[in-house]
Structure 1
Amino acid sequence: MKLSLIALFVSISLMTAFGQQKHFATQAELDEMTRALEADTSLAKFIGWHDDPETLYHNYKTNQHMADSIWRSDQATLSRMDIGETETFELIPLIDWFTDSDSLQGENGVSYLIKTDEATILFDMGLNPMAMHPSPLLHNMKKLGVSMDSIDLVVLSHTHADHVGGPEWSMKNTFSLSNYQIQLDDLPVYTPKPMTYPGLSPQYTPKPAKMAKGVATIGVINNPIFLNNIAEQALAINVKGKGLVIISGCGHQSIEKIVQRTDLLFDKPMHGMIGGFHFPMTESRNITWIYKYFVVNKMPWERLSDEDINYNIGLLKNKGVEFIGFSGHDSCDRSLSLFEAAFGEGFTRIVVGQTISLH
């Protein structure tokens, strides 16, 4: 607890110091934005809902500078971790876009149940878009024979609505398994920013930390997009005889930074990566026009391309990654097909109800 408070103090101090330094978009950048907004009226209207475009651009540049400064500081000060290893690794998708049968409910959200030697972990809580009770998450848990009593700890990747149980909870800086906050007793909850929950004290984990034997968060990585800053954490699980498996909520940190952080923290090879990668290159299924304005490391008027996807595939291939579990909740079919072609038998599409296990 004391270390968490120190980490929080350091992070706030850094953010305050960096935030006092205002950074501005250049005139050339503003001119490029103006041309893009004139060419895309939907984008112009969408950005206008949030704020004046020029103000947003200047805020983005400041957030980008702050995130880069914190990233450099973290990478320079963090050190190797020994988290042990787990012989058991099993991941049961509870919420995602694709489902194994009509009896299970799919949605634009993520929730996974992770089982290791020492812990059963609930990773994220889905979206519950209709604010129902029972939520799709609770419905699927019942169908799959998963009870809250079996869960040892909860990890939230980031605070977007599709990972904390819905927009109501995201706006209130909290989370929920359904359309009301059920009692969770003393369940440990690890969050990417300070959050609240009735009767609980969620633990903010800005820095890498061991959570159970063979399980750790790689720490929060900030990565702003044009409209807001995103702080996300991923899990690293060291599976005996295999190496590291990274569990990602949306991958807003970028695959590149996840790889760099993992290289810094562990002396184990990266065997696999499972979860959302946020590659909404084309409109398909649930990937609507609005997704393209939230692409990581791109301005809202820039599009993802095959080259971008293949660059990320190359990063993973160069690390010796053999296994990819790909979520369809935030990536289009074209992106899925490129990863499947690259990884072949090592590729699996995440489907609610279909267990992923490594032996």
Structure 2
Amino acid sequence: MDPITLAPVDEVTITTLVDNVYDALLDGDDRAVRAPFKAGVASAPQFEAGSTTVGLRAEHGFAALVTVRRGNTTTTLLFDTGLSPDAMVVNAERLGVDLTRIQAVVLSHGHFDHAGGLAGLAGKRGTRALPMVLHPRVWIRRRLAVPGAPAQQLPTLSKRALTGEGFEVIERREPSLLVDGSVLITGEVDRTTDFERGMPAAHQAWNGTAWEPDPLVVDDQALVVNLRGRGLVVLTGCGHAGAVNIVRHAQRLTGIPRLHALVGGLHLGGTAFAPIIDRTVEALREAGPDLLVPGHCTGWRAQHALAAALPDAWVPSSSGSAYRLIA
């Protein structure tokens, strides 16, 4: 297809509202602003003051607030919502983030660890209609059927429930341009590498009559911004399409070869994905991002490898961290 014209922006800030890790001792720098050590206060009668300092929630899920500035216009989007109904809302409150100012929601895919916080968001949002961009396969029933163990069905999103809460559901397989053409949602990602083959056979989907392997998770999509003079900023949820596939797909869609930043889950954790870590790391090293913030499902082996291969770009992720990128 012809390249999509992605209007450049002057500033983008990605605030991780929920991630697998919360580290209150991480240092900030000119790229990363860390959450304060004292993020909140909770009642605790065992202390003399009757209260104690609390941090932020960490769980196996991902949610990020994306703020894009173009000239004098600023737009705020929510990308995924975490695992539990309350973690994202609690963290937002402790960070002073007003979730009622969100102008749209984007779901990276239908897995419950990215959509669980929609219930909490609905409670905070009130009755105001809110656009939600997603792939039509987010409603598919899925399960994990590990040999020798009972199959575990995964929570399935309800379109009826979301529309009943006032979300304006927008289903798209193709790329979407939001925010006056300055934010790209990739839609389905082309699978072009020979090593990123997706989920193991235990990950299954219901086809209407039977369960079948669902390796591709075709509803997986990413958010892309063109930072003026610096290149692409790519935000992933789990990266089920493959981190390298996603980056190259964004480059093809936009015609912009430079990768400035890659943030989010890269799904390299666990023994099933260990064999592709080296090739993924090498491809990302060749892409040469200025900022690399792998989170969520990336896994400790891949984190170590990426930190060693791209020491100037790699930054540890943590709930509450904000990454401010300026043209």
Provide the TM-score with structure 1 as the length reference: 0.64
Alignment of 1:318 onto 2:286: yes
1:276 alignment partner in structure 2: 265
2:151 alignment partner in structure 1: none
Residues 209-288 of structure 1 mapped to structure 2, 5 A cutoff: 209-212=176-179, 213-221=181-189, 225-226=200-201, 227-228=203-204, 229=214, 230=217, 231-268=219-256, 269-281=258-270
After TM superposition, give the deviation of residue 80 of structure 1 in Å: 0.6
Alignment of 1:309 onto 2:297: no
Separation of aligned partners in 2, 1:200 and 1:337: 39
- Do the aligned residues in 2 keep the contact of 1:184 with 1:200 (CA within 8 Å)? no
Alignment of 1:119 onto 2:75: yes
Separation of aligned partners in 1, 2:290 and 2:101: 30
Letter in 1 for 2:319: V
- Corresponding residue SS for 2:310: helix
- Do the aligned residues in 1 keep the contact of 2:62 with 2:113 (CA within 8 Å)? yes
1:85 alignment partner in structure 2: 8
Instruction: Return closer, same or farther for 1:149/1:180 CA change in 2, 3 Å cut-off.
Output: closer
Separation of aligned partners in 2, 1:214 and 1:318: 26
- Do the aligned residues in 2 keep the contact of 1:110 with 1:163 (CA within 8 Å)? yes
Separation of aligned partners in 2, 1:180 and 1:201: 16
After TM superposition, give the deviation of residue 315 of structure 1 in Å: 1.5
Separation of aligned partners in 2, 1:263 and 1:331: 22
| CA displacement, residues 236-264 of structure 1 (integer Å, 9 cap, x when unaligned) | 11111211011000000012321331232
| CA displacement, residues 117-174 of structure 1 (integer Å, 9 cap, x when unaligned) | 141111101001xx5xxx11110010111112221111000110100017xxxxxxxx
1:139 alignment partner in structure 2: 90
- Sequence identity percentage: 25
- Corresponding residue SS for 1:89: strand
Separation of aligned partners in 2, 1:216 and 1:235: 6
After TM superposition, give the deviation of residue 182 of structure 1 in Å: 5.9
Letter in 1 for 2:10: E
Alignment of 1:203 onto 2:192: no
Alignment of 1:190 onto 2:179: no
- Corresponding residue SS for 1:265: helix
The one of the two structures with greater contact order (alpha-carbon pairs below 8 A, sep at least 6) is 2
Separation of aligned partners in 2, 1:152 and 1:201: 11
- Determine which structure has the larger helix proportion and give its number: 1
After TM superposition, give the deviation of residue 232 of structure 1 in Å: 0.5
After TM superposition, give the deviation of residue 357 of structure 1 in Å: 1.1
Gaps of 5+ in 1: 1-77, 167-174, 282-291, 296-302
- Do the aligned residues in 2 keep the contact of 1:83 with 1:215 (CA within 8 Å)? yes
Separation of aligned partners in 2, 1:304 and 1:105: 28
Separation of aligned partners in 2, 1:87 and 1:136: 31
Q: CA RMSD in A?
A: 2.2
Name whichever of 259-268 and 181-190 sits farther off: 181-190
Separation of aligned partners in 2, 1:83 and 1:225: 34
- Determine which structure has the larger strand proportion and give its number: 2
2:47 alignment partner in structure 1: none
Separation of aligned partners in 2, 1:80 and 1:184: 38
Aligned residues: 247
Gaps of 5+ in 2: 25-36, 38-53, 140-158, 191-197, 205-213
Separation of aligned partners in 1, 2:108 and 2:7: 22
| CA displacement, residues 270-290 of structure 1 (integer Å, 9 cap, x when unaligned) | 212100001114xxxxxxxxx
Separation of aligned partners in 2, 1:177 and 1:84: 33
| CA displacement, residues 85-134 of structure 1 (integer Å, 9 cap, x when unaligned) | 11111111100022234421111100001111141111101001xx5xxx
Provide the TM-score with structure 2 as the length reference: 0.70
Letter in 1 for 2:284: L
Separation of aligned partners in 2, 1:264 and 1:332: 28
Q: Which runs of 4+ in 1 moved over 4 A?
A: 178-182, 222-225
